Amino acid sequence: MDNQTMVTNLINTARKAFTQASDLKALDALRVSLLGKKGELTGLLRGMGQLSPEERPAFGQLINQAREAIEQMLADREGQLKAQEQAMRLQAEAIDVTLPTDLPRLGAPHPNTKVLDAVVDCFVGLGFEVVEGPEIELDRYNFELLNIPKNHPARDAQDTFYIDDNIVLRTHTSPVQARVMLSQKAPIRIICPGRVYRADEVDATHSPVFHQIEGLVIDKDVTMADLRGTLGAFARQLYGDSITTRFRPSFFPFTEPSTEVDLTCIVCKGAGCRVCKGTGWIEVLGGGMVNPKVLKACGIDPTVYSGFAFGVGLERITMLRYGISDMRWLFEGDERFLRQFS
């Protein structure tokens, strides 16, 4: 076999071997076997020693051409294999963002929170400010300054959690009224949402821990009509335009006169049903004109200023809003219940 044929054969075998090299590792092994120190091309070159001096240049050129051809094939195949491997890796690592996940379900605002947000929106829209007070409260704020005398039944240990003689878990949000009157100047326009405590047994309408929202307005010439208008706006915003208020005389030590406020029954819209016991009205909150004794005790001159106040149970208005028949649902944290509000 002449040199030319040997080299041509080598190139042809190499071409075939390159197409068969299926990964970069096989390709590298092939490179070593063709171009390496002990490779085939080097082997051919060694044969040059047996050639005559005249034959050598042509043979050398032949070998160089073969080396160039093989190196080109190597580079081409390497490019192909790298592209292939990258394509495979991209495919293997691809993330299908449309697949369903095992992420935990997201929570949602508690029904109490939703209603409180609506109440806050309503009163902030009317120019009220939101204020908070402590849940562990001094007897002075919870009772004394609100004109609740020492012998008042609300002070009984059966109704109130006492920490000691002077400290209680607040039984209502009304003490925030006293705190604000003592620390701010009139005019005052606030609501105070928060947790309150009573030594009650748990049942469908009672819980030892619940929430109230207190309202207080102090200014010149504030009248019962302002209370009526404010609570009317509140009722309409929360339950719709067909809902109105009805005031019934009542008694609270910190308001004079005091009123119990009913709303048009949210279920029957006033026609009479089981929820409103046929009356067309449901009792939802207490309020009245701030007792001048309370104004005076809190440093506000009752000959210049007057005010109204009210207190409403958050659980009560939430239950009415969503037709929840048992208060315990609001405290038990059962997901089957809570999920219905997400």
- Which residues in this chain contact ligand DAH in the complex, by CB under 6 A? 172, 174, 214, 252, 254-255, 286-288, 309-311
Distance CA 194, CA 208 (A): 14
Decide whether 111 or 287 has the Cβ nearer to ligand DAH: 287
Q: Which is nearer to ligand DAH, 160 or 264 (CB)?
A: 160
- Rounded to whole angstroms, the Cα distance separating 204 from 285 reads 18
Closest separation between CB of residue 334 and ligand DAH, Å?
Answer: 27
SS3 47: helix
For residue 287, which phi and psi values (nearest 5 degrees)?
Answer: -170, -170
Task: Measure the CA–CA gap between 218 and 216, rounded to whole angstroms.
Answer: 7
Give me the least distance between CB of 224 and ligand DAH, in Å please: 12
Which of 73/216 has CB closer to ligand DAH? 216
Nearer to ligand DAH, 30 or 147 (CB): 147
Residue 214 or 262: the one with the smaller Cβ distance to ligand DAH is: 214
13: Cβ contacts below 8 Å, ≥ 6 apart? none
User: What single-letter amino acid sits at 56?
Assistant: R
7/231 with CB nearer ligand DAH: 231
From the list 192, 188, 196, the residue with the least C-alpha distance to 290 is 188
CA-to-CA separations, 257 to 15, 39, 117, 233, in angstroms, rounded:
106, 111, 30, 21
Sequence letter at residue 286: G
Half-sphere exposure for 342 (CA within 13 Å, toward CB): 9
- Pairing status of strand 306-313 against strand 281-290: antiparallel
Sign, CA dihedral 329-331-334-339, equals positive
Give the Cα separation of 126 and 133 in Å (integer).
21
Q: Is the sign of the CA dihedral 148, 151, 153, 159 positive or negative?
A: positive
Cβ atoms < 10 Å from Cβ of 318 = 24
Residue 284 CB, nearest approach to ligand DAH (Å) = 11
* Dihedral sign for Cα atoms in the order 317, 319, 323, 325: negative
Rounded to whole angstroms, the Cα distance separating 281 from 264 reads: 5
Residue nearest to ligand DAH (CB): 311
Closest CB 342 distance from ligand DAH, rounded Å: 31
Residue placing its CB nearer to ligand DAH in the complex, 254 or 305 = 254
Query: Closest distance between ligand DAH and the C-beta of residue 95, in Å?
Result: 56
**Least distance between ligand DAH and beta carbon 290 (Å):** 7
C-alpha angle 315/318/321, rounded to 5°? Answer: 155
* Nearer to ligand DAH (CB atom), residue 133 or residue 286: 286
Shortest reach from residue 315's CB to ligand DAH, in Å: 13
Between residues 39 and 253, which has the closer beta carbon with respect to ligand DAH?
A: 253
Question: At its nearest, how many Å lie between ligand DAH and the CB of residue 232?
Answer: 17
Q: How far is the CB of 337 from ligand DAH (least distance, A)?
A: 26
